[in-house]
A and B are shown apart, each in its own frame.
Chain A
Amino acid sequence: MANDAPGRPNSLFRNLNAKIASIPMIFTALVVFVGGTVWTVVYSFTNSRLLPRLQFVGLDQYERLWSTPRWLASIENLMIYGVLSLIFSLTIGFVLAALLDQKIRFESVFRTIILYPFALSFIVTGLVWQWLLNPDFGVQHLVRSAGWESFTFNPLYDQSIVIYGILIAALWQGTGLVMCLMLAGLRGIDEDIWKAARVDGIPMWKTYLFIVIPMMRPVFVTTLVIIASGIVRVYDLVVAQTSGGPGHASEVPAKYVYDYMFSAQNLGQGFAASTMMLVTVMIVVVPWAYLEFGGRNKRG
């Protein structure tokens, strides 16, 4: 590809139509994403209140941020939520996909049912689960009225477990998508590989674990990116389900950013918090991207 055909000296004009067509997106990416990010980072070093202004105060906003108990609680919650949500949605999603892959009857019906929650917004999901988990008329009430009087299932009003109440709702909403991606991946595996494995007498679970999953690497990477981006920006689910309560037990960083930027009229503090979110993402993404795309000679 590197050698241009004679008579077409400038590679800049090759595929000109495609290049012109992508100008708006390039522009958006540069101005909105990169420009906006740089602007935010710069203003996070100022003492901007309601309106942005360029009065630099050094690292003051960051010092305040990291000494705020609410921010620390938010980070801790995001860690718990993120790790568990990643593990569970991948495992449950894959197991469901593997089960659906057994050429069962009414597969499309099951697929639709499991994918259906994904059609709901986080706000609706949050409200539904707020009701389901409400002790006065949700699951707890149902079990108690069925005769088990001492049954207690009250995650949203208990500080120590409220984040798991949110996790349940998030899994209910998001697992269907993971399942569909996995199913597509499973369908992409050549039938002959299964036949070969069966001839060699390898048990099914071993085939999945040691042959199929390694072959599905690209699907897993895609899924991982989708889940991870959902984790970092989780906001509306928390607002709808608990608004961060009880106390600060279900606060998340995105909510801190919103509250300080708009409600507290302290842009500087909000920008500092969002910059920290960006840094966190970078810490995860940069090494991964380096391994994935950096080692050219390794993967050809």
Chain B
Amino acid sequence: MNSFKALIAASTMLCTVGLAQATDLEVTHWWTSGGEAAAVAEFAKAFDATGNKWIDGAIAGGGNTARPVFISRITGGDPMAATQFNHGRQAEELVQAGLMRDFTELAEKEGWKNFVRPASLLEGCTVDGKVYCVPINIHSWQWLWLSHKAFEDAGVPVPKTWDEFVAAAPALEKAGKVPLAMGGQAWQRTGAFNVLIPAIAGKETYLKVYQDKDEAAAAGPEIAKVFKAADDARRMAAKSNVQDWNQATNLVITGQAGGQIMGDWAQGEFQVAGQVAGKDYSCLPGLGVNELISVGGDAFYFPKLKDADKTAAQEVLASVMLSPETQVAFNLKKGSVPVRGDVDLNAANDCMKKGLDILAKGNTMPDPPRLNTEDTNNQLNDLFVEFFATPSMTPEEAQKRYAEIIAAAD
């Protein structure tokens, strides 16, 4: 439907070329949940205000579904004007193949280096000293979302750490709750495991495994502890039979589930549901154990286009996305942190402030999409989908395969 619209838009434009100043830009992304859609509408509003037109190309089903579509459109010679990726290695080869537009000039003119923080975000967009993407938010995975209602119903206090949460699981189950909500999609399984690593084994081990691809560390006793924790998580999530992450978040919002390990984008859902942090739900960064967050996020890449008007409009879109007002409006809705260090965030809620604090202290680390290729991430997905769905698979067995994947990774 969207491509059809774009086609019509494109053909209309051919007729009126030279007359119209407004340029239609098709922007593709995978933001479809309630909070996400509200956030992306802020971008569309700001871009439309410049006299151009935002053509929304949302693809449902998450990044794993959407990215192949983006990539085949770009490599197949039908590029959109701008597209979302998680910056890092997902679009690496597209950039190397010269299919993406170089934004170094604009970045220097507007001084992105001066206000984008942490600096590593812009580095994620940089290949051979040239800037290829616009980072738009900071997302971190390391959050445990807890429903106050569920714990009240079960008659136990809301936990402050992962261990307390595990200890409270039997009480939750007795009250007919699912202790841990977890969607069945592969990325959510792997994501939860990747959150457990720094929380249980610490930042050192995390970096050894994913940055240095150290096989010995992956097979070592620290990661073994993580697999033990994953085993707990598997038991707690056994009765959670939803697929999408926002359905799982909804179980927490409605108090049917105790908690969920999910990135800070879950916050957008709590906000749309009208819940208040600290009163209706709590958030524990680093699972309440190790207050460390990974810095990753979304970025927009701009494929090279032939049309001169559209090429000019791409620059307008890039500046709009980074402008202070849009950054605040977008990120408040999305539940993420703005990439600009110089904006006013009084409107931020408790959870977001916790995140900002940790960010200010510098307790950060790069997230897996920056360190691993999609190939490695997919192999991890395969492993964890099997692990979480197969109660008979022992943690030891899973760890052995985990170490093999890390050993083969590049």
Residues of A within 8 A of B (CB): 49-51, 64, 68-70, 157, 159, 243-249, 259-260, 262-266, 269
Contacts and interface: CB of A to CB of B under 8 A. Distances in A.
A12 B373 CA distance: 55
Chain A, interface SS category: loop
Given A247-B390, A264-B374, A266-B375, A157 B241 contact: yes
Contact of B378 (A51, A247, A259): A259
Interface of B: 64-65, 67-68, 71-72, 75, 90, 92-94, 97, 184, 241, 243, 373-375, 377-379, 382, 385-386, 388-390, 401, 408
A260 B390 contact: no
B127 to A, nearest CB: 14
Nearest to B92: A50
A266 B71 contact: no
B75 A51 contact: yes
B67 A246 contact: no
B373 A248 contact: no
Given A64-B408, A69-B401, A245-B184, A265 B374 contact: yes
A269 B386 contact: no
Per DSSP, chain B at the interface is: helix
A31 to B, nearest CB: 18
Contact of A49 (B75, B375, B401, B408): B375
B236 to A, nearest CB: 17
B378 A248 contact: no
Contacts of B241: 157
A23 to B, nearest CB: 27
A259 B385 CA distance: 14
A157 B243 CA distance: 13
Nearest to B63: A263
A13 B198 CA distance: 76
A157 B242 CA distance: 12
Contacts of B389: 159, 245-247, 249
Contact of B71 (A50, A69, A245, A248): A50
B94 A50 contact: yes
Contacts of A244: 385
B399 to A, nearest CB: 14
A248 B386 contact: yes
Nearest to B408: A64
A247 B408 CA distance: 22
Contact of B386 (A69, A262, A263): A69
B378 A262 contact: no
B193 to A, nearest CB: 15
A245 B385 contact: yes
Contacts of B64: 263
A50 B90 CA distance: 9
B385 A260 contact: no
A265 B378 CA distance: 9
Given A159-B390, A248-B385, A248-B386, A263 B67 contact: yes
Contact of B374 (A64, A69, A243, A263): A263
Nearest to B393: A247
Given A51-B93, A64-B408, A264-B378, 20 more contacts: A50-B71, A50-B92, A50-B93, A51-B94, A69-B401, A70-B382, A70-B386, A159-B390, A246-B390, A248-B385, A249-B389, A260-B378, A262-B67, A262-B71, A263-B64, A263-B68, A264-B375, A264-B377, A265-B71, A265-B93
Contacts of A49: 93, 373, 375
Of all A-B residue pairs in the complex, the 5 with the closest CB atoms, nearest first, are: A262-B68, A247-B389, A264-B378, A50-B93, A246-B389
B404 to A, nearest CB: 8
A260 B389 CA distance: 21
Contacts of B243: 243
11 contacts: A50-B93, A51-B97, A69-B386, A245-B184, A247-B386, A247-B389, A248-B386, A264-B374, A265-B373, A266-B374, A266-B375
Report which residue of B64, B373, B375 has the largest number of chain A beta carbons within 10 angstroms of its beta carbon.
B375
Contacts of B68: 262-263
B64 to A, nearest CB: 5
B70 to A, nearest CB: 10
Nearest to B392: A159
A259 B64 CA distance: 9
A274 to B, nearest CB: 16
Contacts of A70: 382, 386
A49 B241 CA distance: 34
B408 A266 contact: no
A246 B385 CA distance: 8
B248 to A, nearest CB: 15
